[in-house]
Amino acid sequence: MAAAREKTILVVDDMGTVRSAMALHLRNAGYKVVEADGGPAAFQIAAHEPLDLVILDVMMPKMDGFAVLEKLKKDARTEPVPVIMCTAKGLREDVIRGNQLGAVDYIVKPFSKAIVLEKVKRQIGDPPAKAAASKPSSVRIPPVKPSPPSPTSEGGPSAPAPPPAAPSPGAGSGPPPP
């Protein structure tokens, strides 16, 4: 059986600390992560790396996340790749705009590791190592052969039954002695 391909996530954020924290959580969970500090770097990576998911910051200099999302969705290579937007604002208008452009979900900063992983798994599932570990094993257990009947089973001579236990003092059914 061929090994499953690593699931690759592109994290795009102009703030190195945020990008590194997100990438660390994802790597520790078993995903392959590539990082970009903005739109131009993201496009360069997407041109050479098969991606399973993009996590994209909204507020970035030069080219905001909406412009990056729009360009990713117009490229045949990246159009089918789900994009989760990541924002510090979480404004309803931003969510609507992102959804209209093709975003599949939103993460609001500051983010929790549990929320990030839950949203990622919802889009692309567990990383291959975890997915394989959760599948039932294909170990075959051989049938057990019945043992031959013993001389005491099925009408053979039987051993005498043990004698009944002697009652302990005071365990009788009558009233207690005076």
Which tens digit of pLDDT belongs to each residue from 6-25?
A: 999 999 999 999 999 999 99
Q: Locate tokens 């507020």: which residue?
A: 59
In a domain, 65, yes or no: yes
- With respect to residue 174, please indicate whether it lies within any of the assigned structural domains: no
In a domain, 166, yes or no: no
Domain limits for position 101: 8-131
Q: What was the pLDDT predicted at 5?
A: 80
Report the candidate in 111, 5, 3 with the shortest Cα–Cα distance to residue 52.
Answer: 5
Low pLDDT (below 70) residues in the chain = 1-4, 130-178
Q: What total of structural domains would you count in the chain?
A: 1
Is residue 28, in this structure, part of any structural domain at all? yes
128 CB-near residues (< 8 Å, 6+ apart):
3, 4, 5, 6, 7, 30
- Residue 33 within any structural domain of the chain: yes
For residue 76, the domain's CATH number is 3.40.50.2300
Does residue 89 lie within any of the structural domains?
yes
Q: Is residue 46 included in any domain, yes or no?
A: yes
Q: What is the pLDDT of residue 89?
A: 82
Contact 69, 97 (CB under 8 A): no
Predicted structure pTM score:
0.72
Tell me, yes or no, whether 142 lies in a domain. no
Q: What is the pLDDT of residue 102?
A: 98
Q: DSSP strand E in the chain: where?
A: 8-12, 32-36, 53-57, 83-87, 105-108
